[in-house]
Structure 1
Amino acid sequence: MNISEWIHTAVLAVIQGLTEFLPISSSAHLILPSQLLGWPDQGLAFDVGVHVGTLLAVMFYFRRELVVMTLAWGRSLSGTTDAEGRLAWLVILATLPALAFGFMLEGMIDHYGRSILVIAATTLVFGVLLGWADSRRSEQRSVEALGVRDACMIGLAQAVALIPGTSRSGITITAALMLGFDRQSAARFSFLLSIPVILGAGSLKGLELYQAGNSAHWVQIGAGTVIAGLSALACIHLFLKWLDKVGMAPFVIYRLLLGVLLLAVYFWMPEAAL
């Protein structure tokens, strides 16, 4: 690997680590280096690696909650259900819509949803929706008040994030805020929901990689995994720490600027948008 390849690896891994959990859309950011700078696709193995990195980061950050929830979920199978076991079941329930729609619509989304125009539109529309939900939040409910209906609604919102540019964390936080949850609870449930989703997506990509049998630059992939994991861990910690102070306004403004930039690329740089 030459120096430019190392730079590409580091930049793309940081982008993946940050945008996986910030409500600003990973697909909107990952498209810019390739479209504007002409960077090559890093390949399926690299994609698997950075997904593993972000998965390990969120599991490490919520390790105590995951242990408690897993043990409680196991007890619930024998008929003893407590708050942690119930939360584990609600995470599973909220994951099902994304799995179902992802299985049914994967080909259609890959074919129609990867254009800059689609990503620009969803970046703008769901950025405005996030700002509206945050401005009208009631903050009357915490994670402990989460019910089956809430999990289903947030799960359906997460399925919408299959459309590139939506942002999985952004749309799930938006839905939770609209249902009356406080910012911290909305973000924490969104991050817990990311675990089975990232695990599922990474497993599918890993299966594709195995079936393809392609050789890979394992040093590059390892570096990408570590960089994505560390940047994701820092992102989760700082986001939850500053969330109540800064709110969603900075992310909304950023999404609007990013959406306008993508539209400019599409209309004034058509050769880059191809």
Structure 2
Amino acid sequence: MDFFQALVLALLQGLTEFLPISSSAHLILPSKLLGWPDQGLAFDVAVHFGTLLAVMTYFRRDVWRIGQRFLVTGFSQPDNDARLGWWIIIATVPAALAGLILNDWIEQSLRSLWVIAITTLGFGLLLWVADRKATEQKTLLQLTFTAVLVIGLAQALALIPGTSRSGITITAALLLGFQRVDAARFSFLLSIPLILAATLLKIMELVSGGDGSGWLMLLFATLVAAVSAWLCIHWFLIWLERIGLLPFVVYRLCLGLLLLVLLMGGAL
């Protein structure tokens, strides 16, 4: 992989990790469409670490406040911030268990363009329905155990390429009546433990496997992913208030239809 390919893939990771359009699908597509080599485990670690830096930096005040209050009051009389910490932990459990049990099967059976095309279309339509029917009556202060569990189970579906972790969790939150910006904010906070866990797991695999990629390219990819992800979070929250989710629905439908046409025409 050369620096141009590293730039494109790092940008794809940074721009799609937090948008409701599926980062996993966009990272698979270059190798499938352009014949690019697999980016390798070390590169995956670098770009995931970049997006982790971005979300933790952007929500640093929230992360600090939630962590501090969780440690002080979380086990006795949790306040709103400590309770949000509990909700994040609970919502992370389904995806973590699903990842441990099904990750190998998903890697072997579901990383195909047919799966990506179908999930891009199907979950894009579901996102459109959720956006159209959004009542936006609830804030994060009105999260309940049931709502958190539903969002957590939805997040587990994002293991399937093309689903989009942010897309499916925002969809679930909107269908439960939460405000768009609060749904996105909870989705982004919810990404932190999963990205952290995935990064640590990949680092362990990297150390045991001895995957040795160039450090300069890895640093470059980390910085590109971090900066693009931070800008993506910032502008997405602004656009969400102004124009909603329709542009992302349209993008998903166009991408999914294009992939289906190319697949059925034998071009892929």
Query: Does residue 132 of structure 1 match 2:129?
Result: yes
Cα distance in 1, alignment partners of residues 146 and 153 from structure 2: 11
The answer on whether the counterparts of 2:74 and 2:82 sit within 8 Å (CA) in structure 1 is no
Please give the alpha-carbon distance, in whole angstroms, between the structure 1 residues aligned to 2:50 and 2:28.
Answer: 20
Q: Could you report, residue by residue, the CA deviation over 1:202-259 in whole angstroms, capped at 9, with x for unpaired residues?
A: 1111111111012211111100000000000000000001111111100000000111
**Structure 1 residues 211-220 or 29-38, which shifts more?**
29-38
Q: For residues 248 and 262 of structure 2, what CA distance do their matches in structure 1 show?
A: 21
Corresponding residue to 1:183 among 180, 183, 194: 180
Structure 2 residue 191 is the aligned partner of structure 1 residue 206? no
Q: Is the 8 A contact 2:50 2:226 kept in 1?
A: yes
**Structure 1 residues not aligned, in runs of 5+:** none
Task: Report 1:1-274 matches (<5 A).
Answer: 5-269=2-266, 272=268
Deviations along 1:175-194, whole A, 9 cap, x unmatched? Answer: 00000001000000000000
TM-score, with normalisation over the residues of structure 2?
A: 0.97
SS in 1 for 2:173: helix
Q: Distance in 2 between matches of 1:170 and 1:77?
A: 29
**Which amino acid letter does the alignment assign opposite residue 102 of structure 1?**
G
Is contact 1:129-1:174 (8 Å) kept? Answer: yes
Q: Distance in 1 between matches of 2:75 and 2:258?
A: 54
Write the letter of the residue equivalent to 1:121: I
Cα distance in 2 between the residues matched to 1:201 and 1:262: 28
Task: Give the whole-Å Cα distance in 2 for the aligned partners of 1:171 and 1:233.
Answer: 20
- Alpha-carbon separation, structure 2, partners of 1:202 and 1:93: 20
CA–CA separation in structure 2 for the residues paired with 1:136 and 1:35:
36
8 Å contact 1:27–1:119 — kept in the other structure? no
Paired residue type of 1:39: W
Q: Given the superposition, is the C-alpha separation of residues 120 and 78 from structure 1 closer, same or farther in structure 2, using an over 3 Å criterion?
A: closer
Tell me if structure 1 keeps the 8 A contact 2:66–2:84: yes
Contact 2:18 2:232 in 1 (8 A): yes
Identity score, percent: 55
The Cα shift of 1:57 comes to: 0.2
Alpha-carbon distance in structure 1 between the residues aligned to 2:159 and 2:262:
23
RMSD: 1.1
CA distance in 2, matches of 1:106, 1:13: 23
Shift of residue 78, structure 1, vs aligned partner:
5.0
Return 73-82 or 181-190, whichever deviates more: 73-82
Q: How far off is 1:17 after superposition?
A: 0.3
CA contact (8 A) 1:28 1:120 kept: no
Once the two structures are TM-superposed, the CA of residue 83 in structure 1 deviates from its matched residue by: 0.3
* TM norm structure 1: 0.95
Between 27-36 and 56-65, the greater mean CA deviation after superposition: 27-36
Counterpart code for 1:245: R
Could you tell me which amino acid in structure 2 is paired with residue 178 of structure 1? L
Instruction: Count matched residues.
Output: 268
How many Å separate the matches in 1 of 2:113 and 2:16?
A: 17
Separation of aligned partners in 1, 2:17 and 2:127: 16
Question: Structure 2, unaligned stretches of length 5 or more?
Answer: none
Aligned letter for 1:10?
L
Q: Distance in 1 between matches of 2:108 and 2:36?
A: 21
